[in-house]
Amino acid sequence: MTRFFSLLAVAVLGLQLIQVDRASAASNRIVAVGDIHSDYKNALAVLQMAKIIDSKGNWIAGQDTFVQTGDNVDRGAGTIDVYKLLQNLRGQASAAGGAVINLLGNHEVMNLGGDLRYVTKEDTASFGGATARKAAWDMQTGWIGKFVYNSFNITHIQNGHTLFSHADMSVDWAKKGIDQMNALAHKALKDKKFKEPIFTTYGPVWNRDLAKEEAGESETCEVIENIKQILGVKRMISGHTAQSSGKVLTLCGNSYIGIDVGITAYYGANRAALEIIENNDGTQTVSAIYPSGKVILS
């Protein structure tokens, strides 16, 4: 009998330990990184700084969510290594109970559509020439093309509170909702219609109206509030518009955060990531992570 009770005690203790372990492992962290533009070395540096990967490029972020907001290609020569890294991280994150969210940038769409104006000679050479590079980007048969076609959406809402897109959202696009935007983008890729409205100037991979405050400061904030209400989010995060300051752009009380800080050497090799921590009371703590440390934004 005593033996039974002590076994029971061990079993109960064991269960409690497992529960404690689960609770402490459940992640409450989201990390977002903007435009990488074929710069593998600086991509590694930023992801290490944000504690997403170790020095060998392996996922160390457990159940965290890593969002990359598109434009992993063009202007640099490390396209192959950058997409291999993203592909590896998706698998490793998923095995650890975490997630990698990849979004389409205008440069992904350009490369899928054969618009190679921003491809460097060195990058083409790294594939073994233009024909081999084109083959790699084929959406049916190429390893990068298939990866982007199958795993990249045009917009994403994480945990119900934060909208991510490569470029700026507009009120008209927001009204369609994210599922319809993702479906339209996917259909356009499928049909090889790279000039569909969703892929043009005012669509979510090209628009800069918010980052540039085209409507003026207060009207831009009204537009941002309107988009927040339509999509039921607290904030929106975009890349696309490079900040020469190397710091994230915050507008309208952190309702809009621009995270293209120019990570690639072409834009200054600046390092920054955005971190969102879920607090127990349902609020979020949003910070920018820089080499000099973390800056709490809100």
Ligand X SMILES: *[C@@H]1O[C@H](CO)[C@@H](O)[C@H](O)[C@H]1NC(C)=O
Q: What does the binding site for ligand X look like in residue numbers (CB under 6 A)?
A: 151, 153, 178-179, 182
Toward ligand X, which CB reaches closer, 182 or 287?
182
Strand residue runs (E) in 29-87: 29-33, 65-68
The strand pair at 29-33 and 65-68 is best described as: parallel
How many other C-beta atoms can be found within 10 angstroms of the C-beta atom of residue 222? 13
CB of 102 to ligand X, least distance (A): 8
Question: Which are the contacts of 155, defined by CB distance < 8 A and separation ≥ 6?
Answer: 103, 163, 164, 165, 169, 178, 181, 182, 204
Q: How far is the CB of 196 from ligand X (least distance, A)?
A: 17
Of 182 and 270, the one with the shorter C-beta distance to ligand X is 182
d(CA 263, CA 260): 7
Strands 152-153 and 99-103, sheet pairing = parallel
Which of residues 94 and 244 has its CB atom nearest to ligand X in the complex?
Answer: 94
**Single-letter code of the amino acid located at 55:** S
Comparison of 181 and 274: residue with beta carbon closer to ligand X: 181
Which of 231/286 has CB closer to ligand X?
Answer: 231
CA distance 272 to 34: 9
CB of 251 to ligand X, least distance (A): 25
Min separation Cβ 222 and ligand X, Å:
26
Least distance from ligand X to the Cβ atom of residue 149, Å: 10
